Amino acid sequence: MGFQRARTEEQRNERRRQILDAAAAMLTEMPVAELTLTALSRRVCLAKANVLRYFESREAVLLALLKAEITDWITELESAAPGGGPAGKRGDRLAELLATSLARRPVLCDLMSAQSTVLERNISAETALGHKHAVREHLETLVRFTGRHLPELGDEGAGTLLQTVMLMAVAAWPASRPPQAVLDAYAADPSLAVMCVDFTDVVRRTVEVTTSGLLARAKDVSAREGQTR
């Protein structure tokens, strides 16, 4: 660190950033479950009590990191201009974009998969409130992003698509990274390889299938409404 004690708001913000950067670097080396407050404090050369001056717990650090990771992901997504063509093709392009962009962000995927079981534990109601407000804002931004690619879905359809995709991504991420013993079992018996989970493929197919269903449903509803007029 360039200073011993953060005294100004600028220094405090810099110290928080350094802690988050260290946590992000550690998550490229280990899963969320193995990142401890003790190890993090050593990485940033601070006593554990001093880390807690900036974040109330290890989980609060990880929630702040999750917020930053999602913000960066959304920025990347929004740089992709919507394409033209039939809704089905646009849906497939959206599926490819979401799947590949998530797969390129292992820290984000690891944090999302641990959100309910790890990150939202051992935090105050105030931290939980701030986190949930941030989640809602991110979801609203993603709904608008989806609407630019597939306006036929409407806000409700876009929200349903995103909820489905995120739930699948949360489940598929740890399943696509089995422990060594399971990998050894697959190697010993190639017939078990069908049980391997390809994260990118699962997310892509989830978006494609869900989008197709939602578009068909929206078309059917529109047709029924037209018949009753």
- Per the structure, the complete domain to which residue 66 belongs is given by 58-227
CATH number at residue 2: 1.10.10
| Whole-number pLDDT of residue 81 | 87
| Whole-number pLDDT of residue 20 | 94
Concatenated DSSP letters of 168-186: HHHHHHHHTS--HHHHHHH
Residue 214 host element (H or E): helix 199-227
Are residues 13 and 36 located together in one domain of the fold? yes
Are residues 48 and 149 located together in one domain of the fold? no
Distance CA 159, CA 23 (A): 31
CB–CB of 22/40 below 8 Å? Answer: yes
Domain count for the chain = 2
Short-list 40, 167, 179, CA closest to 113 = 167
Are residues 213 and 153 located together in one domain of the fold? yes
CATH number at residue 209: 1.10.357.10
CA 119 to chain centroid: 13
| Whole-number pLDDT of residue 72 | 96
pTM of the shown model: 0.86
Are residues 49 and 63 located together in one domain of the fold? no
Q: What is the pLDDT of residues 196-209, one digit of tens each?
A: 899 999 999 999 99
| Whole-number pLDDT of residue 195 | 87
Instruction: Select from 9, 32, 55 the last residue of a domain.
Output: 55
Are residues 50 and 69 located together in one domain of the fold? no
| Whole-number pLDDT of residue 193 | 82
Are residues 127 and 218 located together in one domain of the fold? yes
| Whole-number pLDDT of residue 119 | 93
Tokens 């931290």 found at: 127
Short-list 45, 186, 34, CA closest to 110 = 34
Distance CA 12, CA 194 (A): 50
Are residues 50 and 133 located together in one domain of the fold? no
Instruction: Select from 38, 55, 72 the last residue of a domain.
Output: 55
Collect all residues with Cβ–Cβ distance below 8 Å to 113 and sequence separation of at least 6.
Answer: 32, 169, 170, 171, 173, 174
Are residues 75 and 18 located together in one domain of the fold? no
Are residues 63 and 120 located together in one domain of the fold? yes
Are residues 51 and 91 located together in one domain of the fold? no
Rounded to whole angstroms, the maximal C-alpha distance in the chain is: 73
Amino acid letter for position 35:
L
Are residues 125 and 180 located together in one domain of the fold? yes
Distance CA 130, CA 132 (A): 6
Are residues 167 and 208 located together in one domain of the fold? yes
User: Which parts of the chain sit beneath pLDDT 70?
Assistant: 1-6, 220-229
| Cα end-to-end span (Å), the chain | 70
